[in-house]
Amino acid sequence: MTIQELVTHQKEAFRSGETRPAKSREKTLRKLKSLIKKKEKELCKAIETDFGKPYFESYITEIYTVLHEIDIHLKNFSSWMKPDSVGSPIVTFPSKGTIYNQPLGTVLIIGAWNYPVHLTLMPLIGAISAGNTAILKPSELAPETSATLKKLFDENFDPTVLAVVEGAVDETTELLQQPFDHIFFTGSTRVGKIVMKAAAEQLIPVTLEMGGKSPAIVHKDANLEVAAKRIWWGKTMNAGQICVAPDFVLIHESQKDEFIRQTKKVLPAFFGDGYQPGENYTQIVNDDHFTRLKNLLDNSTIIVGGITEKETRFIEPTLIDASWNDEIMQEEIFGPLLPLITYQNDDDVVEELAYRPSPLALYLFSDDSAFQNRILEGVPFGGGCINDTINHLGNHHLPFGGVGNSGMGAYHGKTSFETFSRKQSVLKKPTWPDPDLRYPPYNETKLNWFKKLFS
């Protein structure tokens, strides 16, 4: 089928009501879970082929997270489906108000290369549990994983309900011209703007999950031993190729030297046997990204690290002495380079961050509740942690999404179901009583009665 034919058939399947029943949703979710468990080694091998991600890391972040999300939806989606009864004001008496959770229709999910299974299938789970048909577009920058997902879906799902479309710019452009009922995109802010512009032409609602320069703020009261471990854990995962990785450290000047000392302890402890891409560390995804990161590194002042190897696309986790005007601070890094910037007082932190593009994540290391509240109220960001990094993604009760340049909308857990549903409000009223007060002709007497009854 052509892309246009595929979308047409999916919309017809949705109109037939095929995906609406709870049993149908449950069957599809259970089938997806079974396939992922059965093919997890094949999927992890594909990810390793694409950019050398270790099996342990792939299983935890790409397989387990998806299986856990499916279990959450299987346990709860039938209750999420139920209509919600709401109160009715006296002006509509007697009546009953109900909000129905209706599926959107046929949705497009555009995944990202850095977590090619997780970021493609996680939103799909919400689309299925909400009763939609869906087309997936995996990233062409992870070609082996994309092909594996394509094969998995082609062999096990009816394409009029769930389908994978492979390709690059041309295929994505054609997809964006189709009359979808929702588009869910994960990727860069630059491409997100293209997606939103195309969607706006057809008034298609979008969820955009992007990135930004997510700060890790280390305050003067921070526990440096813990802060250094948790910041470098978040930065070295996937070699820093995560949209919520700590992009830079904003540290109180009194803590700088100790953070450097702790860094020199933490990294050897994490990688005592050396950096081994594919076993305990991840490669940079391709030559273009490697060259971009190498250029940033070459124009920076290195404190710790800095070793690179072009043949294996290896870049060592590197701590960099930086200032706000440095080249490395002008764009999201998306790699294992960690700029370190100092501040002197609390005002400096809020003033600098509040006027910059809002990041997808923010991490604050401090037990000072007044400073915590000041950051939470004064600096816009999508989500984050206090005294940790990354782990907010592991709580399905917390909606995950951005703000401003880092995105719009959210998902995970119940929020995913809500993202792929629409609220349909219905007022049900009996045919009796039917007072004349509501009907023309209107006069002073009716107005006075209305004021007495409802004012």
The tens place of each residue's pLDDT in the chain, 455 residues long, gives 899 999 999 999 999 999 999 999 999 999 999 999 999 999 999 999 999 999 999 999 999 999 999 999 999 999 999 999 999 999 999 999 999 999 999 999 999 999 999 999 999 999 999 999 999 999 999 999 999 999 999 999 999 999 999 999 999 999 999 999 999 999 999 999 999 999 999 999 999 999 999 999 999 999 999 999 999 999 999 999 999 999 999 999 999 999 999 999 999 999 998 999 999 999 999 999 999 999 999 999 999 999 999 999 999 999 999 999 999 999 999 999 999 999 999 999 999 999 999 999 999 999 999 999 999 999 999 999 999 999 999 999 999 999 999 999 999 999 999 999 999 999 999 999 999 999 999 999 999 999 998 88
Q: List the one residue out of 251, 270, 180, 246 whose CA is nearest residue 389.
A: 246
Q: Which runs of consecutive H residues, i.e. helices, occur in 157-252?
A: 169-176, 189-201, 224-236
Q: Which runs of consecutive H residues, i.e. helices, occur in 82-179?
A: 118-129, 143-156, 169-176
Is residue 214 within 8 A of residue 361, CB to CB? The reply is: yes
For the question of residue 243 being annotated catalytic, the response is: yes
Q: Which of 40, 48, 69, 209 is catalytic?
A: 209
pLDDT digits (tens, 9 = 90+) for 341-373: 999 999 999 999 999 999 999 999 999 999 999
Residues, the chain? 455
Distance (Å) of CA 361 to CA 95, 215, 330, 352, 407: 45, 7, 17, 16, 11
Q: List the beta bridge partners of residue 342.
A: 251
Provide the CATH topology of domain 3-210+407-424: Aldehyde Dehydrogenase; Chain A, domain 1 (3.40.605)
Q: Which of 44, 62, 243, 316 is catalytic?
A: 243
Give the CB-side neighbour count of residue 37, counting CA atoms within 13 A.
Answer: 10
- Alpha-carbon distance of 136 to 171, in angstroms, equals 12
- Alpha-carbon distance of 289 to 78, in angstroms, equals 43
DSSP H or E segment with residue 341:
strand 337-343
Q: What are the extents of the domains in the chain?
A: 3-210+407-424, 215-401
Distance (Å) of CA 384 to CA 189, 218, 259, 351, 360: 19, 14, 21, 19, 8
- Alpha-carbon distance of 71 to 51, in angstroms, equals 29
One fold for both 3-210+407-424 and 215-401?
A: no
Structural tokens at position 39 = 């093919």
DSSP H or E segment with residue 328:
none
What angle separates helix 40-51 from helix 22-38, to the nearest 10 degrees?
Answer: 60
Residue with tokens 């219905």: 426
Residue with tokens 């609390």: 346
**Global confidence as pTM:** 0.96
Is CATH 3.40.309.10 the classification given to domain 215-401?
Answer: yes
% of the chain residues with pLDDT over 90: 97
Residue with tokens 């999300």: 69
Indicate the residue type of 375: I
